[in-house]
């Protein structure tokens, strides 16, 4: 636990020190759970967004993009159910006066039991070596069986109570499990209450004529209300998808954990419209596809796991999270939801407009069913950034801090470094920059000894350092140093563009899917 906390603190301070993430309005002591992306952060974020967009839109003939406004007609949120049901169950500790999400307290408790079981499994795997049969051990070891059944029992009771809106039982469960406030250590809890997460605002010049609006809590509704427009103008045939990236806003109560849970954040969502009855097939398809996308970035297979929902949102008939191993443990990174025809039907009812598709093969009209993939861009940023930040002990015993970002996502692809600041070397370096900058983000650095400059680029995550030295003047060659292996090779200046391009091109990375 302590290790995790230390690692997370390092991630946050590195993000600030190297120009990735700043707290919003820091000179005024910041605004809680709101963050700004700095000079490198904005590039990393843009590259993740582009990597997602290309994988979803460019690679699929039957998926198109959309950029709907953040402001939407207020009836949208009545129809979608967000006005009535977009609530979190909250509980306060009377001694610390801290507020918690009741479901998160219970989920954290269940995760602790889960970790105990995992520890037993790891120990046994070590003890039995190659002959270890994990499935058999899980189903027969009394301690592991007990841990897993306790975990499942707790989660399913919570799911049932939330679904039945039985908030008294959620409080009972917290008391029965003897969950204590992490700050005061006491079990002196208030009742559990529901709290709506949407931010309200107003549109219009005068108080009398102003209309109450909400800042959208998800981008998905912009897609649903445009379903018929896109389908007709794009002559789309089912199955087809509409993808969108953009800001969403939630008045999160427990807004900790840096950019993991923010009040203003960005989503990358795709709604896939299918024939009724085929939604679960497509749900499985998109679960698999999305996991492949994640794995293509090489952050490690073991860092991902699926978590099927015990408590389904008001619109879903199946839902799973892709969880990622963040510095504070496995948490939701992306949601895959089978949303049925809930949203389109609700918008039909509230707007009085038909939101249907005429299926020529079936010779009938229907309201399509929807499978959604929804990932938080900021969470993806955190997953990539935290996993890439590594402290390496080198062969000579020295240490280096290196940000091993997937090169396709790195903000700057290459730093061009003249060995010394004279003898015409800076001029050659500038010339190389002027050739490469049409294709890549590149930077120039001439300050300090070359070793220190390499370390600086390692820490900021630049995959290549290109050093111009005196030999360059004679033979037009430079040294190219690879960030991850620290290996150096001598190459011709004319080869640089190809070498970098092969390594960072989105196409090459996406082919790994």
Chain positions contacting ligand GAP, by CB under 6 A: 218, 220, 250, 252, 261-262, 265, 267, 269, 332-335, 372, 374-376, 378-379
CB of 227 to ligand GAP, least distance (A): 15
Backbone angles phi, psi at 169, to 5 degrees: -70, -30
> Nearer to ligand GAP by C-beta: 335 or 426?
335
CB of 271 to ligand GAP, least distance (A): 8
> Nearer to ligand GAP by C-beta: 102 or 223?
223
> Nearer to ligand GAP by C-beta: 219 or 412?
219
- Complete DSSP assignment for 39-93: TTHHHHHHHHHHHHHIIIIIT-TTEEE----SB--THHHHHTTHHHH-EEEEEEB
**Residue facing ligand GAP at closest CB distance:** 376
Q: How far is CA 425 from CA 105, 191, 452, 463, 475, in A?
A: 60, 70, 18, 22, 13
> Nearer to ligand GAP by C-beta: 252 or 284?
252
Distance CA(244)–CA(306), nearest Å, equals 23
Q: What b-and-e string marks burial along 458-477, b requiring 16 or more CB atoms within 10 Å of the CB?
A: bbbbbbbbbbbbeebeeeeb
Phi/psi-derived region of residue 148, left when phi > 0, alpha when psi is between -120 and 50, beta in every other case: alpha
> Nearer to ligand GAP by C-beta: 103 or 458?
103
Helices marked H in 96-226 — which ranges? 102-128, 134-140, 142-163, 167-176, 220-225
Q: How far is CA 325 from CA 383, 386, 387, 402, 445, in A?
A: 8, 10, 9, 19, 35
Place of tokens 């198109």: 64
CB of 377 to ligand GAP, least distance (A): 8
CB of 166 to ligand GAP, least distance (A): 22
> Nearer to ligand GAP by C-beta: 287 or 481?
287
CB of 252 to ligand GAP, least distance (A): 5
CB of 324 to ligand GAP, least distance (A): 9
CB of 104 to ligand GAP, least distance (A): 12
Q: What b-and-e string marks burial along 440-453, b requiring 16 or more CB atoms within 10 Å of the CB?
A: bbbbebbeeebeeb
> Nearer to ligand GAP by C-beta: 378 or 469?
378
The greatest distance separating any two alpha carbons of the chain, rounded to the nearest whole angstrom, comes to 80
HEC readout, 376-398? EHHHHHHHHHHHHEEEEECCCCC
Distance CA(64)–CA(231), nearest Å, equals 10
CB of 55 to ligand GAP, least distance (A): 16
> Nearer to ligand GAP by C-beta: 262 or 297?
262
CB of 33 to ligand GAP, least distance (A): 8
> Nearer to ligand GAP by C-beta: 163 or 475?
163
CB of 229 to ligand GAP, least distance (A): 20
Instruction: Please say whether the beta carbons of 332 and 382 come within 8 A.
Output: no
Q: How far is CA 83 from CA 197, 199, 226, 250, 422, in A?
A: 9, 11, 20, 13, 66
> Nearer to ligand GAP by C-beta: 108 or 332?
332
């Amino acid at each position: 636990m302590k290790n995790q906390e230390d690692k997370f603190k390092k991630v946050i301070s590195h993000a600030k020190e190297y120009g990735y993430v700043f707290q919003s309005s820091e000179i005024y002591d910041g605004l809680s759970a709101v963050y700004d992306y700095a000079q490198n952060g904005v590039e990393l974020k843009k590259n993740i967004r582009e990597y997602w967009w290309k994988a979803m839109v460019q690679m699929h003939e039957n998926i198109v993009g959309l950029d709907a406004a953040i402001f939407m007609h207020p009836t949208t949120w009545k129809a979608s159910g967000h006005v009535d049901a977009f609530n979190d169950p909250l509980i306060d500790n009377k001694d610390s006066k801290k507020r918690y999400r009741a479901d998160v307290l219970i989920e954290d408790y269940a995760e602790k039991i889960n970790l105990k079981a995992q520890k037993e499994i790891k120990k046994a795997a070590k003890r039995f070596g190659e002959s270890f049969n994990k499935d058999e051990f899980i189903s027969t070891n009394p301690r592991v069986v007990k841990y897993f059944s306790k975990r499942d029992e707790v989660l399913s009771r919570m799911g049932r109570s939330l679904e039945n809106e039985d908030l008294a039982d959620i409080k009972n469960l917290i008391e029965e499990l003897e969950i204590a406030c992490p700050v005061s250590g006491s079990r002196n809890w208030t009742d559990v209450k529901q709290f709506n997460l949407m931010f309200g605002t107003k549109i219009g010049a005068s108080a009398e004529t102003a209309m109450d609006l909400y800042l959208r809590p998800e981008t998905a509704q912009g897609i649903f209300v445009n379903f018929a427009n896109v389908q007709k103008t794009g002559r789309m045939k089912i199955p087809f998808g509409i993808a969108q990236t953009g800001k969403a806003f939630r008045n999160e109560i427990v807004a900790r954990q840096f950019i993991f849970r923010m009040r203003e954040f960005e989503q990358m969502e795709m709604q896939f419209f299918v024939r009724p009855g085929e939604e679960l097939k497509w749900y499985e398809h998109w679960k698999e596809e999305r996991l492949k996308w994640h794995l293509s970035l090489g952050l490690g297979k073991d860092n991902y796991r699926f978590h099927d929902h015990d408590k389904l949102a008001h619109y879903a008939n199946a839902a799973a999270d892709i969880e990622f191993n963040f510095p504070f443990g496995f948490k939701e990174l992306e949601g895959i939801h089978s949303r049925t025809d809930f949203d389109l039907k609700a918008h039909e009812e509230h707007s009085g407009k038909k939101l249907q598709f005429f299926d020529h093969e079936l010779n009938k009209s229907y309201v399509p069913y929807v499978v959604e993939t929804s990932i938080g861009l900021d969470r993806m940023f955190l997953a990539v950034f935290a996993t890439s930040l590594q402290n390496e002990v080198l062969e000579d015993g020295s240490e280096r801090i290196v940000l091993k970002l997937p090169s396709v996502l790195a903000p700057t692809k290459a730093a061009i470094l003249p060995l010394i600041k004279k003898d015409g070397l800076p001029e050659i370096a500038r010339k190389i920059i002027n050739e490469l900058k049409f294709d890549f983000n590149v930077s120039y650095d001439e300050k300090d000894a070359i070793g220190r400059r390499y370390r600086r680029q390692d820490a900021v995550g630049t995959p290549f350092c290109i050093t111009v030295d005196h030999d360059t003047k004679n033979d037009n060659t430079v040294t190219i140093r690879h960030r991850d292996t620290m290996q150096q090779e001598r190459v011709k200046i004319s080869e640089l563009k190809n070498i970098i391009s092969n390594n960072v091109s989105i196409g090459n990375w996406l082919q790994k899917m």
